[in-house]
């Protein structure tokens, strides 16, 4: 087990520039934690929104109008929706968000 912070040796000297740079480098990534969390979950959020979009009954009706065979075969409808889902997810993640500020 580690030492208690009260038992660690300390002095009253002011940290020099090198020590401040090390501390800044170690802890600079924790300033915007919520932004980092949202950035990490961005792909999952996009996939979830696309899934909700493709789960709406109006999308099924649209596919029935465009591809009439989907009215008789749910498997074909599912395959078409899956392919479009994968393509849209790929395009959104790799091209739409590829440019950063």
Gap between the Cα atoms of 25 and 96, Å rounded: 31
The larger pLDDT score, comparing residue 49 to residue 29, is at 49
Could you tell me which residues come within 8 angstroms of residue 81 by beta carbon, excluding any fewer than 6 positions away?
54, 59, 63
Predicted local confidence at residue 87, as pLDDT: 96
Least confident segment among 25-29, 44-48, 68-72, 91-95: 25-29
Q: Any idea where the domains of the chain sit in the sequence? A: 47-101
Report residue 16 CA to chain centroid gap: 39
| Cα torsion angle, 69, 72, 74, 75, sign | negative
Say whether pLDDT at 81 is over 60.
yes
Choose the weakest-confidence range: 4-18, 26-40, 61-75. Answer: 26-40
């Amino acid at each position: 087990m580690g030492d208690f912070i009260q038992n660690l040796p300390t002095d009253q000297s002011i940290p020099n520039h090198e020590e401040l740079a090390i501390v800044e480098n170690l802890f600079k990534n924790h300033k915007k934690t919520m932004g980092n969390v949202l950035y990490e979950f961005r792909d999952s959020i996009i996939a979830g929104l696309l899934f909700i979009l493709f789960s709406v009954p109006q999308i099924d009706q649209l596919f029935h109008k465009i591809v009439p065979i989907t009215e008789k075969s749910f498997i074909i409808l599912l395959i078409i929706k899956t392919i479009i889902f994968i393509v849209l997810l790929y395009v959104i993640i790799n091209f739409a968000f590829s440019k950063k500020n």
